[in-house]
Amino acid sequence: MSKKLYKSYYSIRRLPKNIEEVDTEIFNHELKRYIQPTFIKNVHKVVAFNEIIVSLSSFTYFKKYTFFGDKTFLERVKRIIKRYLMSNKKTLTIDKGIWFTDHKSHVFFHWIFDSLMRAEASIDYNKEYPLIVPEKFYNQSFIKDSLDHLNLNFIVMKDNQLYRINDLLLVTKTSLTGNYNEKILAKLKIRFTKNMVKQELNFNQNLFIYRKKGQSRAIHNFEELKPIIAKYGYQLIQFEDYTFNQKINLLSNCKNLVGVFGSGLSSMLFLPQGAKIAEIRQKGDYKNNAYFSLASSLKLDYYYQFYDLIDNKISLDPKTLDNLLKELN
């Protein structure tokens, strides 16, 4: 039996504030997107192990609730068998719970905007039904930190352990990944911010997300760019060094957030109304518009700049960056 939690609708996005006519094709296909309805489904007497849930009575493995992406049937079956064989067959019992994760939930972006969105959609049930968090995910510090910060009711399902769940609520995904149900998104943002404990952190109102050399998507010629970043009063930050409470404190007073396409830009969730976000993205990339769409759903002014990929290394023209930061100010 399923119950509709949120209706479907069309999300209408705004073009970037610094859009150039030659680039409109990158964004035009994202300006109107269908946001699917969100349902919650009640199932009984299922078996769970290592991020997988199956119903032995109906031979169902709940693909759309636990798998991410268009994996083939054979790949999914192999994943299920492998996870089952790893499990201790002495079955433990969970009386009731809510399932809100898939096998991509260990990734920061997907945890916030796929999994926690599903958790937020089901929040009216959370007092009676705890969220079920696989231990593999809970061991990620940002996942534990976020659950503690949000003060949610949850239980941890041990790795490599077979479980019988008597009464399980399955929450559908709230939208295709990279798109957002704006009502649920707004509620999740409020839940994060209302639990913030005020901290005095000595940071500027302009923040530039910094990735060290050797990290994924680090800017190869970053040393050359540092004087320009300093010229416009930007402070360098690595968000992985901060708790959720610290991030929210930092970003609640931020006016401009700049960074290369990547998980650091997910923290725009905590920016105040009127703030600006600038994404440094690969030239000609029509596919990866998750942060453009997120900025629009959060009603933030979105700017963009392209980087060059030289010998598989990100390089940014200093004059181009200077023009972007000047425009933001």
For the chain, give every domain's residue range: 37-174, 206-328
Extended beta strands in the chain, E state? 2-6, 9-12, 32-35, 38-49, 52-54, 88-99, 131-134, 154-157, 161-171, 206-209, 234-237, 256-260, 276-282, 301-310, 313-315
C-alpha 133/C-alpha 130 separation (Å) is 9
Share of the chain above pLDDT 70, in %: 98
What is the architecture, at CATH level 2, of domain 206-328?
A: 3-Layer(aba) Sandwich (3.40)
**Closest by Cα among 60, 64, 143 to 106:** 143
Predicted confidence (pLDDT) per residue in 87-125, tens digit: 888 999 999 999 999 989 999 999 999 999 999 999 999
pLDDT in tens, 237-292: 988 888 999 999 999 889 999 999 888 899 999 999 999 999 999 888 889 999 99
The dihedrals phi and psi of 192, each to the nearest 5 degrees, come to: -65, -50
pLDDT given at position 122: 97
Burial string for 250-271 (b: 16+ CB within 10 Å, else e) reads: bbeebebbbbbbbbbbbbbbbb
**pTM of the entire predicted model:** 0.93
- Tens of pLDDT, residue by residue over 187-212, are 999 999 998 888 877 778 899 998 76
In contact, 106 and 137? CB cutoff 8 Å = yes
